[in-house]
Amino acid sequence: METTNLSADVLVIGFGKGGKTAAHALSDAGRRVILVEQSENMYGGTCPNVGCVPTKMLVHYSGAKRLEDDAQEFFANSVAGVRRLTSAFRAGNFDGLNGKDTATVITGTARFIDANTVAVGDGDDRITVTAPTILINTGSEPVLPPIPGLADSRHLVSSTDLIQNDRLPRQLVVIGGGYLGLEFAAIYQHFGTQVTVLEAAGRLLGREDTDVAEVATGILAGDGIQLITGASVVEVIDNEGAASVVYVKDGERHTIAADAILSAVGRKPATSGLGLEVAGVKTTARGAIQVDERLHTSQPHIFALGDVNGGPQFTYVALDDARIVLDELLGDGTRTTSDRVAVPHTLFMTPPLATVGLTETDARLQGRNITVARENVADIIAMPRAYTVEETRGVMKFIIDADTDLILGAALLSIDAQELINTVALAMRQNITATELRTSIYTHPSSTEAFNEVLGTVVSAGVN
């Protein structure tokens, strides 16, 4: 057996957002970079291939479906459109990095053989790569709960399976009512699938205030999704043509049929097979790679970026991880994870729910002196955009420090919320007061001008 031995200034394991961003910048700075990605279908990482981009494109397509459209044909055409876009992104990501004079992309599975070297592949195709600096960016993978019959069911699908399959399920059961589960539930319900969500907790969106969660739940239920909370799935039984999902609620057993079952109970860091113990890289009790605030692992020359380090599982957080690592390698090393303030996130239901900062419940538990500004979208006179696009469902809610007039948090369930929340987050980071945000000049008709009205509406609200 002959092994090809390569060396680089920086080795990047994983083609996700953090890894590829750092690889580009380091290559441009003259460092010799080798990036290893285990699958040719994942150039660019989860987001452009099986995550953010395809799911949000399906959200767009599903909202365009007309009553007269054949559901299966419309869905198949939508998936074809997604495939065209993701293929273009994948090729662009590969060519953009591999085309650099100082960067090389190797496709294969990497495993450490010592703290500075990984082996890629086996047999005659085995390659070793040695580098003084290594970045691990292998992302996360779905958690499959130990439900009898689930793992072996012919009808079990992953989120990746759903995106890549052009057959529209007739009956989709989603186990787990978190962001991923609710996004897929909303997408497939709009395409014409009968969707049921089984959530073990007593209510959906348990991290949000009750009043906001109730509005969101009402919208999802109003779209036809069957939402069952307090439901513990105990068994999956495959039958001819479909599966029976058995769950217990209030002490009683119930069964629901499904030709597709999506497990959406969470994701875990993808570290299996990396050989971290050989490299001396420590992991946390939850399986994430242990890092400090500058993303060094227990081996100072090895960094971990993105989902694999156990931080928030968002593409834009992985991007910020890259900024921190690049500041360590090319800058003055002052940037840290503790610099992150007011990081927003969005649930892409229709309309989207975007949040940032504290909820009212959290603020009151902390003993904050607060005021709450809240208004249903249908009642916001200063937001004609909601009427022009015929989407008046939702609510806007702001938590404001009564002593300083600074915004502590917001929940925006409305058209364009995924964009509006970035303005609110920026205001929070820059200490712009609620009054300044309320009295600012915004274009018309726009969703942002809703701030002119909502922030002037202080409601009396109790603990949720």
By the 10 Å C-beta count (0-12 exposed, 13-18 middle, 19+ buried), 362 is classed as middle
The rounded Cα 153 to chain-centroid distance in angstroms is 26
Strand 260-263 and strand 267-269: the pairing is unpaired
Greatest extent of the chain over all pairs of C-alpha atoms, in Å: 75
CA 263 to CA 245: how far, in whole Å? 12
**How many C-beta atoms lie closer than 10 Å to residue 331's C-beta?**
12
Q: How far apart are CA 78 and CA 402, in angstroms?
A: 48
Element (H, E) at 110: strand 110-114
CA–CA separation, 78 and 75 (whole Å): 5
SS3 450: helix
Between CA 419 and CA 385 the distance in angstroms is: 14
Distance between CA 86 and CA 229 in Å, rounded?
35
Q: Which residues belong to the active site? A: 444
Tokens of 378: 């249908």
Rounded to a whole number of angstroms, the distance between the first and last alpha carbons of the chain is 66
Tokens 């937001």 belong to 383
Cβ pair 441, 447 in contact under 8 A:
no
Asked if 140 and 127 count as a contact pair (C-beta separation under 8 A), the reply is: no
The residue type of 302 is: I
Helix axes 179-191, 71-98, angle to 10 degrees: 130
In degrees and rounded to multiples of 5, residue 31 shows phi and psi of -80, 145
